[in-house]
Amino acid sequence: MKKVKDVMAEDVVTADHAMPAATAAKLMLEEGIGCLVVMKENKIAGIVTDRDLLTCVTEKHNMQECSIANHMSSPVVTVPPDTLLLNLAKVMAARQIKRVPVSQGGGLLGIISFSDIADDMDGQVADMWSEWLELIAVTKTSAQHRRGRRTDKQIESRVRAPAHIHP
Ligand SMILES: [Zn+2]
pLDDT, averaged across the chain: 81
Q: What is the pLDDT of residues 76-130, one digit of tens each?
A: 999 999 999 889 988 888 888 889 999 998 789 999 998 888 777 665 556 666 6
How many angstroms is it from 114 CA to the middle of ligand 1?
A: 27
pTM of the model: 0.70
- 48 forms beta bridges with 36
Most confidently modeled of 46-50, 94-98, 156-160?
Answer: 46-50
State the CB neighbour count (10 A cutoff) for residue 148. Answer: 10
User: In the predicted model, is pLDDT for residue 42 greater than 70?
Assistant: yes
3-state secondary structure 91-109: HHHHHCCCEEEEEECCEEE
How many angstroms is it from 54 CA to the middle of ligand 1?
A: 9
* 104: CB partners within 8 A, 6+ apart: 80, 81
* 62: CB partners within 8 A, 6+ apart: none
